[in-house]
Amino acid sequence: MSSLSKELHQHAVEARKKSYSPYSKFQVGAAVKFQGEDKIYSGCNIENSSYGGCICAERVAILKGLSELGEKKIEQILVVTGSPKGDNPCGLCLQTINEFSTTNTEILIANLNSVQSSGKVSEFLPNSFDSSNLP
């Protein structure tokens, strides 16, 4: 793993320990590096007894960063789960990632030990709806 992906992995694994997931028991951690910023932002999934109030780790991490920094593009985002091959971000998270991405933004999928796969946002969310669709 590159030194950036190692750092993202460490932050995401640490954030995952804070996961509040009493309903699914599925713990997720995420870490984001924004363009031009040194600080890594991380998050975990936080569930709610009203299930629609659950929020994913990726969006917690992204929104923490954006609410502090203002609009920024994502350089890399890493998501970690306990599954052997890791797990892809959900559609809602991909839509949020896409909104704050460039063509170079990378998504890294990790298990608890290391990154298992990676790709550009367009590989995860081809034919996306974005600002270019609006009149």
With b meaning 16 or more CB within 10 Å and e meaning fewer, what string describes 25-35?
eebbbbbbbbe
Does residue 96 belong to the site contacting ligand THU (CB under 6 A)? no
Is 5 or 96 the residue whose CB approaches ligand THU more closely? Answer: 96
Does residue 2 belong to the site contacting ligand THU (CB under 6 A)? no
Task: Look up residue 82 and give its two tokens.
Answer: 């306990």
Q: Is 58 an annotated catalytic residue?
A: yes
Least distance from C-beta 134 to ligand THU, angstroms? 25
Residue carrying the six token digits 């789960």: 81
Does residue 97 belong to the site contacting ligand THU (CB under 6 A)? no
Distance (Å, whole) CA 109 – CA 58: 12
Is 58 or 75 the residue whose CB approaches ligand THU more closely? Answer: 58
User: Element (H or E) spanning 13, and its range?
Assistant: helix 3-16
List of residues contacting ligand THU (CB under 6 A):
21, 24, 26, 28, 45, 47, 54, 56-58, 89-90, 93
